[in-house]
A and B are shown apart, each in its own frame.
Chain A
């Protein structure tokens, strides 16, 4: 016997499920349309000349942008990784997580992570480009990006460190190890996968960032950068740079960027899986 109350329950369940499915469908479709559109428009224009050839007005290439992106990744990681990992070690291993100072630092880090990137851009412009006299340059843009990805690295590194079971730290201390030995020989190796994953995600942020770079590295699309003090462009910025005069190349750059970002995310997910596979299972 099915009561009315039961029927109402079933109806509610079905309606809710339908709404949720519809929402999922719309968001998936939006994602697929964007990807298919960018790839369809962009991929036909990708060729060796476009990727690695010399830039000319007739046949613009993204070699300068590829090199520029590489410069930015190197600068921002070299600066942000040690500082970020160091800060996370300090927060996770040397402070009492309940103390007021640590909570304040944590709120500050969260806030930093939420600041719109154009604000970082104007900061970088005023400080590195103008006040410190770097001019439009990769070093100015890279340092600004380093500040921008710092909170990402600090937060996820700290999480990986805190995920290392207490029992391993105790095991190390009980063998007469100092705190430093415990951190470097036990805790960091255990957290390594998580830390590397966070660095890769940070690289993803660097690769896809554009607002910061408009204000800090100039938009020199046609010259392969000579060194860190050159002005130049990145892939994301090149999409914008090409969009007026070379719409086909802009689409192709977008496709390259899309593939790159997807690859970075897949790499991070794969590493995350290795990380989650139970090396750290307590006991």
Chain B
């Protein structure tokens, strides 16, 4: 993969069987920015997100046309190494999904996949990933305990640490705080603000305050289209599209 990790999407359409889920999507995601995807349920935000690390490959009769580039590489080219793509493009899911194994083994999962087995090296990766995810102090004494014993908010930070351990360049987050209480949500939002220095972040959120708090740019999805994309501030204070205004003022969605 190239050394640049900006995302360029051009004329992209996605179909689930006959359903046209994404319609002529165009967007540019710059490096080291947080891009928020907002819009009503079922409008294609998550589908779009899962297109960027090819998670939609797991869905049968999902068809994609158009161009999706990360750096200079079209990620849907035949020769694309999907494993390497997913290593570079980490993902955090809506519900925390730690593996039912120890905290340590969760974090070490991706490094082991990519051939890191030396204990000292793994120890370093585990510690630095947990520190980045702000979980080290809480987890350092229970690295060998099952991760399922952590609270929901801790589990989600563990999942972030697990994604960071793969050393990604881009982080995709699919409503990472929707299953969490306000305090855990605050912690994760602070974390996103810290992480954006080193990672390009694309985050789906239903919480518009959250989008204004954490994102640099915002894309508004409606029925599979991006109806507005721009600086978060201008999207929220001065929307160009009437439908955006209706959505952010709560008139539908």
Interface residues, chain A, with chain B CB atoms under 8 Å away = 96, 165, 167-168, 170-178, 181, 185-186, 189-190, 278-283
Task: Check if B60 sits within 8 Å of A176, measured CB to CB.
Answer: no
Q: Which residues of A contact B38 (CB under 8 A)?
A: none
Contact of B90 among A174, A177, A181, A282 (CB under 8 A): A174
Interface residues, chain B, with chain A CB atoms under 8 Å away = 53, 55, 58, 60, 83-87, 90-91, 93, 95-101, 109-110, 113-114, 146, 148, 159, 162-163, 166, 179
Task: Check if B99 sits within 8 Å of A176, measured CB to CB.
Answer: no
Q: Which residues of B contact A278 (CB under 8 A)?
A: 148
Task: Check if A167 sits within 8 Å of B97, measured CB to CB.
Answer: yes
Pull 15 A–B residue pairs with CB atoms less than 8 Å apart, ordered by A.
A96-B60, A170-B97, A172-B109, A173-B86, A174-B86, A175-B110, A176-B110, A177-B109, A178-B83, A178-B113, A189-B100, A189-B101, A190-B99, A283-B96, A283-B179
Contact of B162 among A173, A175, A279, A283 (CB under 8 A): A175
Q: Which residues of B contact A178 (CB under 8 A)?
A: 83, 113
Q: How far is the CB of B30 from chain A (nearest CB, A)?
A: 23
> In the complex the two chains form, what is the Cα distance from A190 to B100 in whole Å?
7
Q: How far is the CB of B198 from chain A (nearest CB, A)?
A: 18
Given A185-B109, A278-B148, A173 contacting B99 (CB threshold 8 A): no
Given A171-B97, A185-B109, A283-B97, A176 contacting B179 (CB threshold 8 A): no
Contact of B83 among A96, A176, A189, A280 (CB under 8 A): A176
Given A175-B162, A176-B86, A185-B109, A283 contacting B95 (CB threshold 8 A): yes
Given A167-B95, A170-B58, A176-B83, A280 contacting B100 (CB threshold 8 A): yes
Q: Which residues of A contact B83 (CB under 8 A)?
A: 176-178
> In the complex the two chains form, what is the Cα distance from A54 to B174 in whole Å?
69
Q: Which residues of B contact A280 (CB under 8 A)?
A: 100
Q: How far is the CB of A186 from chain B (nearest CB, A)?
A: 6
The residue on A at minimum CB distance from B148 is: A279
Q: Which residues of A contact B58 (CB under 8 A)?
A: 170, 173
> In the complex the two chains form, what is the Cα distance from A127 to B95 in whole Å?
54
Taking each of A170, A174, A185, A190, which has the highest tally of chain B beta carbons within 10 Å of its own beta carbon?
A174
Q: Which residues of B contact A281 (CB under 8 A)?
A: 148
Given A96-B60, A176-B83, A171 contacting B95 (CB threshold 8 A): no
Taking each of A172, A177, A178, A279, which has the highest tally of chain B beta carbons within 10 Å of its own beta carbon?
A177
Q: Which residues of A contact B110 (CB under 8 A)?
A: 175-177
